[in-house]
Structure 1
Amino acid sequence: MNTFSRRLKCCITAGTTSLFLCFHSFDAQAQCSVVTPTDASFGTPTSFTVRTAQQSGSTINSGLTCDGTGVAAPLLSTNEINMTLSSQNAESVRSSTGDTIPYRIFADANARTPVNSGRAVNWATDPLRSTLSLFGGASLSPPLYFRTTPGANVAAGTYTDTITINWNWRYCTRSSLPGVSCSRFDRGSGASAFLLTLVVTNDCTIAARDISFGAAPDPASFSPVTGGIGVTCTKGLTYTVGVSSGSFPAANGRRQMASSGGGRLQYDIFNGRGATVWGEDTNRVRSVSSADGLSAQQFPFRAAIYADQEIPPVGTYTDSVVIDVRY
């Protein structure tokens, strides 16, 4: 157990004008040691989130522990607990494909104190000392905070970096005049390493406009409508696109629109400009190539009302379909 002891000697005199000065030492038992650090993670954001928004991660223990009660003269400028950091991937997390996501390192949760590779950071001086309350009796386990830089267009996968920290400490453990002079220092050094991870997940966005057939007196008078579905997916992803059977599927398998009065008007959505009905589980459409993560692939369709049906009651007919992307 680390203890802090203070010895007080009283000098008592009587009947004299002499002045006695008593000098005493203040001892402390202290220990810093390199320990197994805690790995850090940015979580599992989608590729689009990584590209558009900053991601955050942290480790509460970067590999050193010290007992703050062991520092006898906390205000001495000669106290040092230095961290010198290096990154295997130049402060980027990297996947097996070679894609990288850059990040920055900070010593505080508010990202005000950057930590740069190759440059020593002294945790025994302000503002870091005050942040950690290092010399108030608490134990020191320096945390680190990580922030990605938005803009990277990357494939899904696991992204990692190995961070190595060299520690070197020298701080006062015996002081004759606290805060002024030191008679004994504790010295040590060591290294720790931990893993920083970000798992990027696949994602897609879908863009499609509503379909309107206009107005006509009978089913045969409606003209087909053409359009397209735009799909943007994570870089490297191949996928298929399907269209649901709608809210009012007919017994014969056709899609139907419905009026408020209960009328039905049969129609369908066809892949491309052909006659193949675009389905949800059958006749799905496959992406032409792997997605690039930025631009939308267009999937054309043709929608038509069947002419070979009875004339339904006058009214407004609507339906809703779901477009789904599978990968």
Structure 2
Amino acid sequence: MPLRSLAWLTALLAALFLAAPAHAGCTPSSGLLTFTPASSYDVRATAVPTVSGSAGLACTGAALGLLNRTRAVATVTSLNGFTLVGPTGDAIQYRVSPDAAQKLSFNETPTIDYASDTLLSLLGLLGATSFTAPLHARPIAAANVAAGNYDDTLTINWDYEVCNGVQLLSLVCVGWEARKVTVTVAVRLVVGNDCRITAPDVQFGTAALVEQFATQSAAVMTDCTKGTAYRVAFTAGNTQGSRPWRAMTGPGGATLQYNLYRPDGVTIWDESNPQPAERLGTGSQTPVQAHGFVARINPAQPPRAPGSYSDDVSVVISF
């Protein structure tokens, strides 16, 4: 009699082990997809990196792809038609996908089952017993836009059914969880100001006497983010002095006085006296706004030793 009782107890423990459920369920949550801040020129060049986050559903114990009844269907709609809209009304189109390679897209197929074998294979989750539904977004069209915050809101309607109790050895589900829930995902890209500059070298040529050097006229080409107000100035150069003269350096540390002026040829153009009127950027990728200037060597300075004289002056844009 004691031996039969022991055998019955052993059989009961084995049965309990075989039927032990792995409890599961899904947790919905709203979230945020935030792109790495980018300049307006990055946006125009479609060089903004993909952002990855959650589609608002995390599940455990679902035995994905092994139980045919499992589903996790997401239907995605966009407040602005998959477009990020900025403060001036400028817009940036973007693509939203469940997979990082963006082989699938909610832009083209609004309803996608995350529990399908196709998507599980793309995500590397086939047979997994837990997952957080991923979401990936990237800008897809060049856009000349002003600086500011660009936003959209995705509404994701989830219709899911997952096993919340599965026999570990037989993979037979002993309980299902089925729900329909709605989450939102805010999408944001912060676009920053930026500028482009091309500046020519100034060549005075060769002369025997300082008063023989001809005045030079040239122009710096600039452009900045669309709608950005900016001013242009020149630094003092290597000797850090611009008034009354900048200086080029030559043989043995000798200097040759010169200066840079506004187009009137009289007003010294430096950081203490920047361009008086602001310009508005157009966002052109090739600078199109010209800022003429005049360069002149001081004709009244004493004779200088023969040789090559040079200075380095930077163009400063303030906005």
Distance 2:214 2:56 in 1: 71
Distance 1:249 1:82 in 2: 66
**3-state secondary structure, aligned to 2:211:** helix
**3-state secondary structure, aligned to 2:229:** coil
Query: What displacement does 1:74 show?
Result: 4.2
Partner of 2:309: 317
Does 2:25 match 1:31? yes
Alignment of 1:152-163 (within 5 A): 152-163=143-154
Question: Residue by residue, what CA displacement relative to the aligned partner does 1:56-114 show, whole Å, maximum 9, x if unpaired?
Answer: 343432211211x244x843443211000011111111112101111101112222232
Does 2:222 match 1:228? no
Query: What displacement does 1:314 show?
Result: 1.1
Give the conservation status (yes or no) of the 8 Å contact 1:39–1:196: yes
Query: What displacement does 1:182 show?
Result: 6.9
- Out of 273, 282, 285, the position equivalent to 1:292 is 282
Distance 2:97 2:277 in 1: 42
Question: Residue by residue, what CA displacement relative to the aligned partner does 1:239-298 show, whole Å, maximum 9, x if unpaired?
Answer: 11111111135696311111122222111111014311111122x114554111115210
Does 2:51 match 1:58? yes
- Could you say which structure has the higher helix fraction? 2
Query: What displacement does 1:172 show?
Result: 4.7
**Using a 3 Å threshold, how does the CA distance of structure 1 residues 312 and 250 change in structure 2: closer, same or farther?**
farther
Distance 1:60 1:288 in 2: 41
Query: What displacement does 1:223 show?
Result: 0.7
User: Given the two structures, how large is their TM-score scaled by the length of structure 1?
Assistant: 0.83
Distance 2:93 2:259 in 1: 48
Partner of 2:296: 304
Alignment of 1:63-212 (within 5 A): 63-67=56-60, 69-71=61-63, 74-116=65-107, 119-130=110-121, 131=123, 133=125, 135-137=127-129, 139-172=130-163, 185-212=176-203
The number of equivalent residue pairs is 302
Distance 1:315 1:143 in 2: 67
1:30 partner amino acid? A
**Using a 3 Å threshold, how does the CA distance of structure 1 residues 301 and 128 change in structure 2: closer, same or farther?**
same
205-214 vs 249-258, which moves further: 249-258
Distance 1:287 1:144 in 2: 46
- Out of 195, 212, 236, the position equivalent to 1:245 is 236
- Out of 26, 34, 42, the position equivalent to 1:41 is 34
Distance 1:182 1:312 in 2: 95
Distance 2:120 2:307 in 1: 75
2:34 partner amino acid? S
Distance 1:321 1:128 in 2: 57
**3-state secondary structure, aligned to 1:81:** strand
Partner of 2:4: none
Query: What displacement does 1:183 show?
Result: 7.6
Partner of 2:248: 257
**Using a 3 Å threshold, how does the CA distance of structure 1 residues 25 and 238 change in structure 2: closer, same or farther?**
same
**3-state secondary structure, aligned to 1:61:** strand
* Superposition CA RMSD, Å: 2.8
Partner of 1:216: 207
Give the conservation status (yes or no) of the 8 Å contact 2:256–2:309: yes
Distance 1:309 1:231 in 2: 33
Query: What displacement does 1:34 show?
Result: 1.8
Query: What displacement does 1:170 show?
Result: 2.4
Query: What displacement does 1:232 show?
Result: 1.1
Give the conservation status (yes or no) of the 8 Å contact 1:134–1:140: no
Give the conservation status (yes or no) of the 8 Å contact 1:92–1:161: yes
Partner of 1:15: none
Distance 2:260 2:210 in 1: 15
Q: Which runs of 5+ in 1 are unaligned?
A: 1-6, 10-23
**Using a 3 Å threshold, how does the CA distance of structure 1 residues 289 and 316 change in structure 2: closer, same or farther?**
closer
Q: Which runs of 5+ in 2 are unaligned?
A: 1-12
Distance 1:79 1:317 in 2: 78
